[in-house]
Structure 1
């Protein structure tokens, strides 16, 4: 504790997680740190879950409105959801317990673009913040906070919350000090000024988070690692998808639309994203940069090998092996990685000005290029839109990737009409499956349909899609975007009824 907490007044606020949790009362809005399983509070939410469960046993109502950066972990989302301690949640989640309760209608959930959360809070759209619970790696003598493995919305939570609880996690590497860039130059309209960031590695702020010590009601010492998952080695499908994208980038270079160094990369989370990054390394690309949300193992590897020179993100999302590699060579990575608030990492104007190449996963795409990133059969949320919309609409190239089928072929990921729209056809430039790549730029809806079916659909579903499209061409009252409205979602209905989309 003495090594991590150097501010005398905040030392006097040190207490147990159980004591800190008693400061939180039913109905409060509680904002917490955490972004994609990194940098979330480890102790107070667990203690709070015990407190909530005890209240329920006495017949008392106890539930909270909870806000985070993105997904957290079972010790937070899972623990609170299990004891019915969450009545409302935003903006992104991935915990199985929380997801199940959302889909059963027990918890209200607001899925929103990650780049908009901070500004919505500043605008007052999300109401008052009662308490912020923030994990940090240390407290300086002047009271400034060394951020942890994610920055997320922590700057906004600390600024706007009435009260603050700080968890100081001594497991987080002390070498994180200096890796962050927290920009305090944002303002509310009409007083906004341009953000002075012109390259992904630019530092425009300061390495630390500020907090008014008078608002701090508790400091809790923790010693818990982030709950992060191992990534499976890329399978054949992921490698084929990656190869299609790498070949496409080479074509764009040959056409003069991209330079050899490409443009700043944004990559979603998952095995396909890691496979794409590996493909860039194997393709001998050099001098790349990244302006993204999370640093995964694949990107860490590209930094280590010199393929990526600089990476900007808001969080580290590494496997246990990746955490070990990062900690072992943290001095090397600190000069090459910048961690920022997500209002900067996902800022629409910066994404557009830098010209990011966005690579994100999806649940399904339809023949006209609309993309569903979030829902099964249009009604059950999976995780959320995350930052994919921030980058898809504003990036230089918006690429969406997926295997062509799911559930051992029972589901086609290319369908006549998506069951839920997260990214409209206007925001999607490239669709990629293991069977090929559809470049949708400059094409009308009917032209897009043929390219998507011929290049991306699984051979088992391609004839069915062609049949639907040709009949729609003949029988649809409108010929611009032909659809058979009574049949457009029949594939999803068939899956719900029979467990498979094919007749």
Structure 2
């Protein structure tokens, strides 16, 4: 690795192997690491720490840490530490199968949190002291400030609060990232908060590097390793149908004068359906769109190239290997179009509301009245976490939730009488989209919402059963405002647990 990446001479003297740096982390400590959705996370120190923990466990010694990040990371961090049972507590979001298994078997404590809350809760002291911060960097400048790599996440907060800091300087990440970041240092604790001076998604209000006291940096590790994100599946017919319904709706909103011709700033969750929506936007005729979002994935890079998207503000990337390679080749172009911010700005509720963001996120299920479950399978098994969806659903101009109408080969309906877990209440939900159609829930009473969801979004295999439940609830429920039959409200979920199919025996698959 060229020494150009470590431009502070004193810190070049602190370069050590990953195992030496990992030895500075001790059992029971709270360790905060960079990373947001598979980008910008440390790669060598977590693996060295996992190896150390495995040796300790083999010797009968207890060794776990409390792990805080920006969002999910990747196998080299979450996966490596979960496999050796090295995590006692994890927050605020994860997507690793080994970590998920331990969360759901009760051996790993997990705090699912709104991503906009994490930095301020750390400052409030809710998570206790942060002993060590481990962050990935593109470079360390002459003054000791750190140029982040492909995510910012909560790194600013971790560097501010941690007693000790370990920096991984990753030569694989493009040096051209320098200048893409916007680190805002104007936030404060109540009662001293001030308005954030951001008026447009592409405003720059901060600095291009992270401040840190060089005396806190106890080790620097040189690395050369790629970000790793789960590959996206090819866009399928279901995703294209969902995208088609949503694009048609957005055009309708423009025609009605409820949205400007270039819409409002877009927020998009991660996955195949959001990527299909972005691909649909590329062909839709919209131009000069903006994004104020958490994550940029492959589809947004295409929109930026084509000019459909004028600019994008985010806190991290979730790109396929092919998109990552193209991003590196075109880094000078994307540095003019993309702004990487701290997580507390990218997800800030006041900014989301003032900018009027259009939130587009996935869901596990929605009930007849518009309540959303986006985190739990059958009410108790954690999938990934709420992430930033609540930040945008509660505060955005419009909150859109998307899903296929069924899951598990049709044995699960995404439209149910009552959700088995509530992440977003009916009050925060505007639009539901499945491949069957789109339900606009704005301005509707609970019973009106139920009719829309059954008629427009439910799969035909479940439509009659939903209609039957709703009609009987109208007749027999305790109250008629939000009609429910409590003994039956979660019976669909119990039927799936008992039989592997939500459909009643009298309602076989079509």
Matched ranges for 1:229-248 at <5 A = 229-248=230-249
1:317, 1:147 → 2: CA distance? 16
Other-structure match for 1:275: 276
2:427, 2:294 → 1: CA distance? 23
C-alpha deviation, 1:230, in angstroms? 2.2
2:181, 2:138 → 1: CA distance? 12
2:326, 2:61 → 1: CA distance? 47
C-alpha deviation, 1:332, in angstroms? 0.7
1:79, 1:12 → 2: CA distance? 28
Matched, 1:47 2:43: no
C-alpha deviation, 1:3, in angstroms? 1.9
Matched, 1:335 2:336: yes
Other-structure match for 1:365: 366
Other-structure match for 1:19: 20
Matched, 1:442 2:443: yes
Other-structure match for 2:297: 296
C-alpha deviation, 1:316, in angstroms? 1.3
1:21, 1:235 → 2: CA distance? 43
Other-structure match for 1:203: 204
Other-structure match for 2:420: 419
C-alpha deviation, 1:340, in angstroms? 0.3
C-alpha deviation, 1:317, in angstroms? 1.1
1:492, 1:143 → 2: CA distance? 55
Other-structure match for 1:89: 90
Matched, 1:148 2:156: no
CA contact (8 A) 1:132 1:165 kept: yes
Other-structure match for 2:76: 75
Measured against aligned partners, the alpha-carbon deviations of 1:280-328 in whole angstroms (never above 9, x if no partner) come to 1111110100000000001110001000001000001110111111111
Moved over 2 A (4+): none
2:318, 2:117 → 1: CA distance? 21
1:282, 1:459 → 2: CA distance? 30
Measured against aligned partners, the alpha-carbon deviations of 1:384-433 in whole angstroms (never above 9, x if no partner) come to 00000000000000000000000110100000000000000000000000
Other-structure match for 1:177: 178
Matched ranges for 1:282-321 at <5 A = 282-321=283-322
C-alpha deviation, 1:229, in angstroms? 2.5
Other-structure match for 2:508: none
2:271, 2:79 → 1: CA distance? 21
Root-mean-square deviation (CA, aligned residues, Å) is: 0.6
1:393, 1:383 → 2: CA distance? 20
Measured against aligned partners, the alpha-carbon deviations of 1:100-123 in whole angstroms (never above 9, x if no partner) come to 011000000000000110000011
Other-structure match for 1:261: 262
Measured against aligned partners, the alpha-carbon deviations of 1:422-455 in whole angstroms (never above 9, x if no partner) come to 0000000000000110000000000000001100
1:335, 1:32 → 2: CA distance? 28
1:252, 1:284 → 2: CA distance? 14
Number of corresponding residues = 503
For 1:461, what is the secondary structure of its paired residue?
A: helix
2:111, 2:141 → 1: CA distance? 36
1:13, 1:393 → 2: CA distance? 45
Other-structure match for 1:385: 386
2:281, 2:314 → 1: CA distance? 19
TM-score (norm 2): 0.98
2:416, 2:424 → 1: CA distance? 15
For 1:399, what is the secondary structure of its paired residue?
A: strand
CA contact (8 A) 1:229 1:320 kept: no
1:318, 1:58 → 2: CA distance? 40
1:192, 1:425 → 2: CA distance? 31
Other-structure match for 1:324: 325
Measured against aligned partners, the alpha-carbon deviations of 1:187-209 in whole angstroms (never above 9, x if no partner) come to 00010000000000000001101
For 1:98, what is the secondary structure of its paired residue?
A: helix
2:444, 2:199 → 1: CA distance? 32
2:410, 2:212 → 1: CA distance? 52
1:235, 1:73 → 2: CA distance? 25
For 1:460, what is the secondary structure of its paired residue?
A: helix
C-alpha deviation, 1:233, in angstroms? 2.3
Other-structure match for 1:501: 502
2:480, 2:351 → 1: CA distance? 38
Gaps of 5+ in 2: 505-510
Matched ranges for 1:158-169 at <5 A = 158-169=159-170
TM-score (norm 1): 0.99
Matched, 1:428 2:417: no
Measured against aligned partners, the alpha-carbon deviations of 1:136-174 in whole angstroms (never above 9, x if no partner) come to 011111111111000000000000000000000000000
2:325, 2:57 → 1: CA distance? 41
CA contact (8 A) 1:241 1:434 kept: yes
CA contact (8 A) 1:199 1:354 kept: yes
Other-structure match for 1:401: 402
C-alpha deviation, 1:9, in angstroms? 1.3
Other-structure match for 2:30: 29
Matched, 1:132 2:165: no
